[in-house]
Structure 1
C-alpha cells in the first residue's frame, strides 16, 4: 500500500508539473500557469472519481462465475 501511495503522489506531481509547464509555455505567464496547474489538481480528482464510479457500474470485462466475460 505504501508503494502505491508513493507512486500515486509522484505521478500526480509529474502530471501537475506538466500542466504547469504547458500553461506557462502557452500563456507566457508563470502566475497564470500556476493557477491553471492548481485548479487542474482538483478538477482531475473530481473527474477521476466520477470516471471510477461509472466504470464500477459497468459489467464490461468482469468475469462471471464459470469464466464467462460480461459484454455489456
Structure 2
C-alpha cells in the first residue's frame, strides 16, 4: 500500500499534477477500529485475568475497554483523516 502511494505520487509529479487523495470512508474506519479492538481486548482480558485471577472480572474489564476504546479510536481516526499533514 505504501509502495502504491509512492508510485502514484511519482506519476503525478512527473505529469506536473498535484496528487489528489480522497479520505477514507467511515466504514473502513469502523472495520479498522473493530479489528484493532479485538486484538486490544484479548490483551486486556489476558492482563486483567493475570492481575485478578478472576475470569468474570477480567471479562467485565475487557468488555468495557472494548466499547470505550472502539468509540475513541473511531473518532480519532476520523479526525486524523481530515488532517492534511503528511499526506
Q: TM-score, normalised by structure 1?
A: 0.61
RMSD: 2.5
Runs of 5+ unmatched residues, structure 2: 1-32
- CA-CA distance at 1:29 after TM superposition: 1.6
Name which structure has the greater RCO, CA cutoff 8 Å, separation 6+: 2
Aligned to 2:38, what secondary structure does the other structure show?
A: helix
- Runs of 4 or more above 6 Å deviation: none
Paired residues, number: 57
Structure showing greater Rg:
2
1:52 aligned residue: 77
Distance 2:64 2:52 in 1: 16
Residue among 17, 20, 26 paired with 2:45: 20
Runs of 5+ unmatched residues, structure 1: 1-7, 63-72
